[in-house]
Structure 1
Amino acid sequence: MQGPWGERAAAGSGGAPEAAPTTGDRRFPCSQCGAFLTFKPGTQVMVCGFCGHENRIEEVEKPGSLRELDFHAWLGRLADQRDIEETRTVKCDACAAEFSFEGDRFSGACPFCGSATVTDTGVNRHIKPSGLLPFGIDRRGAEAAFDRWLRGRWFAPSDLKQRSERRERLSGIYLPYWTYDSATRSTYRGQRGDRYTTMEWVAVRDAKGNVRQVQQPVTRIRWRPAAGQVARDFDDVLVPASESLPVAMVDRLEPWDLQDLRFYRQEYLAGFQAEAYGIDLSAGFDQARVKMDGVIRQDVARAIGGDVQRIDHVETRHADVTFKHVLLPVWIAAYRYRGRPYRFLVNARTGQVQGERPWSWVKITVAAALAALILVIVFALLQDGGIIDQILRGF
């Protein structure tokens, strides 16, 4: 059965991905001049900003062929050193976001709220990503999107543009996500409702206020019990593992082209930051189950059939649960206005934009007052004896 996430792919062996260096060092020196290379969005190369030399990132396997990892097996083996990546991270004192800078730099502005970030939290141990989507849109394209978005905020404070121009530059950051696969079988109980029409005597009131009985068609619903089972295989149910951004804002960045996921290689992170996941593997699956439950209830409603349905109980069993930990690219601008942080996000694959902004209640009040004044004028012109009425009588 085709679902909103497609058919479930065959589960892999559940083996651990290849081990990564434990230093978390993402610096790659240029073979020509020794300066550090950075990944060039929209390409398959790292480029030297000093001499322009390019190093191609070679893929050993085609995109989209990442292995699925066994969920329950991993819950019992998270201490296995082969399956864990160690990176050095910093934590923002203002918004509690935990992320990495490039190389040995561990201070600067937080990309999530624009506050100063000062302290090195040391080595952080977490599940190594299985794959990622590389940046496809460069900084210039993201900045152009931000400026277009900002110019369209009609009810923003007048000084917002000047204040936001003093923000830190747009930051490229990889956000952590979990994807889950699961074969589900659900048992349900409910009621099926079928509409039917019958002629009945009903009381009606005429224009003079008199009440009389007339026969009219009335629609009723005939209910009968329903029970059964539905099954669905879910593939790549996507759950953000970040706690630093509003969930609704992050969700609106979808869809992501997960079919083009690349195997995780640190070369893709050169020149960018990466956030450590704040929602762990188990908690992520709890959120995935909520998404699955919504789809399963739709399946149950279709299975019950009829014109309307009542769902009294659904019990779902999950089997062959697998997962991937992936990184997805976002350009983020954080600025502070009157002490409050505001953020702007760009999906660095599709260009989809989402943003927060302050509101100018002065502009809103003036606009509301003008709208009310226009309504009063129009009403005065249209009412009996008004100017328009007098003009029409003149003809």
Structure 2
Amino acid sequence: MEEEKKAFSEQKKSCVNCGAELTYKPGTTQITCDYCGHEETIIPHQDGFKELELKPYLSEMGSVSHSEEILMLHCKNCGANQHVEENYKSLHCVYCTMPLIVEDAYKEDWILPGAVLPFQFDQKQSHQIFSKWVKGLWFAPNNLKKAALDPEYTKGLYLPYWTFDAQLYADYTGERGDYYYVSVPYTTTVNGKSVRRTRQERRTRWTQSNGSIKGFVDDTLIKASAQKQNTIPTKIAHWNLDALEPFNTSFLAGFVTEKYTIPLKDGHLSSTREAENIARSWARTDIGGDTQRVHSIDMSLSEETFKHILLPVYISSYKYSGKKYHFFINGQTGNISGKRPYSFWKIFFFILLIVTIIGIIVWLYNK
């Protein structure tokens, strides 16, 4: 176990030419020196992904295997736990930008990641995405593009997630609904006279149904950290997990890594609820018909495994009229989401224009 820890431990790699620390080059499998340009290839781990058996980890016995100590910094303002690489010259929380005190760093155990999804573009490109986003905003103040976006506060962050795999088996009871149509008479008025007509109305014929379903539930993704503020928007929290790489600390070089704050046990409970939703969906498919009702699901999971994985996102903030706005960019897809200011006068004059157009239309109609 000690040898395994050593193989995965945080080891800083220095440039063979100038001695500076090497950092990961987004979108590649290279680590590079920012000073002299020297590059080295990241060699993938021979064993591939680390899928770990779940049950041993939910007991005391398994809590120490595949784990190690890392240096952590805790933000007293928002509560985020961050592992900051040594080459960071300015230590600020990636979520709230409050200063982090190096002297407050402490060591803490964590379950080693089994895989990492590397960043696909660098900080400069994240600024370009932000600028394009600003230009496309409706009702934004004209001088918003001059907003103070400090590169110092734009950080690439690896977010912790749990993924769970399992064989699912379930017995279900429910009802199958098949649509049919009937002719229903009704009375309407045409030219002042009552007229009898018919219309087609849909009905549902229900029949009892029960059965069994089984299948493999792959990579149920569960967020492993919780923030008091500036939560990662759901809009950008979608990654292609097919691009996961076996965990290698070289991918983390030059970035901030957040430690999970949602324990594995709680993550497993969330994944079980997701599995129940999947089982209900499979049951509806198995029942067939036009619509379905699922009354009960008796589900069991076996051969459960999990991974601790790291997923990329850029986090930053900008100031406009003395107020701070945060934005987030998916480090793989480039999708962006953030808070923005609105121009009161642009909205006011737009509404005034609409009201004026409606008024002219009404005036012409009644003329």
**TM-score of the aligned structures, taking structure 2 as reference length:** 0.87
Give the Cα–Cα distance (whole angstroms) in 1 for the partners of residues 295 and 324 of structure 2: 44
2:296 is the alignment partner of 1:298: no
2:258 corresponds, among 236, 260, 275, to 275
2:363 is the alignment partner of 1:366: no
Q: Which residue in the other structure is 1:117 paired with?
A: 100
2:160 is the alignment partner of 1:183: no
Deviation per residue, 1:224-274 (Å, 9 max, x gap)? 222222222111112222323766724633232x23322222222111111
Q: Which residue in the other structure is 2:80 paired with?
A: 97
2:239 is the alignment partner of 1:255: yes
Q: Which structure 1 residue ranges, 5 or more long, are not aligned?
A: 1-14, 386-395
1:29 corresponds, among 14, 19, 33, to 14
Q: CA deviation at 1:25?
A: 5.0
Deviation per residue, 1:113-172 (Å, 9 max, x gap)? 333333624112211111212222122222111111121122234554434424634211
Q: Which residue in the other structure is 1:55 paired with?
A: 40
Q: Which residue in the other structure is 1:76 paired with?
A: 59
Give the Cα–Cα distance (whole angstroms) in 1 for the partners of residues 232 and 27 of structure 2: 27
SS in structure 1 at match of 2:35: coil
Give the Cα–Cα distance (whole angstroms) in 1 for the partners of residues 177 and 3 of structure 2: 51
Q: Which structure 2 residue ranges, 5 or more long, are not aligned?
A: none
SS in structure 2 at match of 1:35: coil
Give the Cα–Cα distance (whole angstroms) in 1 for the partners of residues 226 and 358 of structure 2: 46
SS in structure 2 at match of 1:359: coil
Q: CA deviation at 1:206?
A: 1.3
SS in structure 2 at match of 1:300: helix
Q: Which residue in the other structure is 1:6 paired with?
A: none
RMSD, aligned CA: 3.0
Going from structure 1 to structure 2, the CA distance change for 1:368 and 1:122 (only over 3 Å counts) comes to same
Give the Cα–Cα distance (whole angstroms) in 2 for the partners of residues 337 and 17 of structure 1: 52
2:29 is the alignment partner of 1:39: no
Q: Is the 8 A contact 1:196 1:221 kept in 2?
A: yes
Give the Cα–Cα distance (whole angstroms) in 2 for the partners of residues 278 and 203 of structure 1: 63
Q: CA deviation at 1:325?
A: 0.5
**TM-score of the aligned structures, taking structure 1 as reference length:** 0.81
Q: Which residue in the other structure is 2:203 paired with?
A: 220
Q: CA deviation at 1:351?
A: 2.4
Q: Is the 8 A contact 2:72 2:105 kept in 1?
A: yes
Q: Which residue in the other structure is 1:142 paired with?
A: 126
Count of residue correspondences:
365
Q: Is the 8 A contact 1:16 1:69 kept in 2?
A: no
Deviation per residue, 1:20-73 (Å, 9 max, x gap)? 489x755322122111111111222221122222222222428xx313111111
2:366 corresponds, among 373, 384, 389, to 384
Q: Give the % identical residues.
A: 32
- Aligned positions of 1:299-338 closer than 5 A: 299-335=282-318
Q: CA deviation at 1:215?
A: 5.2
Going from structure 1 to structure 2, the CA distance change for 1:268 and 1:199 (only over 3 Å counts) comes to closer
Deviation per residue, 1:167-223 (Å, 9 max, x gap)? 6342111111111101111222222222223344x3413136665655554432222
